[in-house]
Structure 1
């Protein structure tokens, strides 16, 4: 049977063999994810809420289109960043599941996945209620992203 941790260690060993400078291994994930979080995340949230509350139909339509276009990319970058963060910890020979940063990141991906599923399935028949749930769940995810970043900075400074 495949041992997940052994598989991660094999991948980390290969990356270690490339001689990547320690500051990149240590701070590369936080730098890239800060961009995704603070630039993409804030814009996706802003566009979603602007599309929801704008009284001008053209502005609302453009904002919702921007939200629909960028939200899947943000999720993809978050999922890839999650993978990179786990790999970074393994490369630095740090425990994975003992970190609040790991658990907030895992919870964040689950929240984003649920939110994406709500939107992907067309908000169901009761579009108003599910759109409201989608909006507040997305806002909760953005708040969790900030907490996740705080835990990540704390972890990065502790290693």
Structure 2
């Protein structure tokens, strides 16, 4: 049975995930270190993991498998989930797969090295926009439809 795992601590599309999952009657596991309010939606479960670096990521990576969808912007988590044959979406609707995860990991490592070499290089990326939200909704719907066709 398909499940949607959400790296929920900094996820800007939780409401959209809940909406689409409810329409498809697919369980959602919102995984975080705390600080989120539980949903009244019977399809949404809040999973609070202990504090610590990457604990939520490890919890998701240990469970996500073929037929599941993982929502995260964390590239190492995405890599682990792809290796477990789960489908992975970023918050902006970008699909991560075997075809592009290597480049994503390399870019992440390069940017990490650049920030370490220049402490004044801060921030990054563009702000989250309405178009990102719309692209995410379309991508999640597309992934869930593809999974239904495979069943």
> TM-score with structure 2 length normalisation?
0.35
Return the structure number with greater relative CO, CA threshold 8 A, min gap 6: 1
Per residue, is there more helix in 1 or in 2?
A: 1
> TM-score with structure 1 length normalisation?
0.34
Asked which structure has the greater CA Rg, the reply is 1
Per residue, is there more strand in 1 or in 2?
A: 2
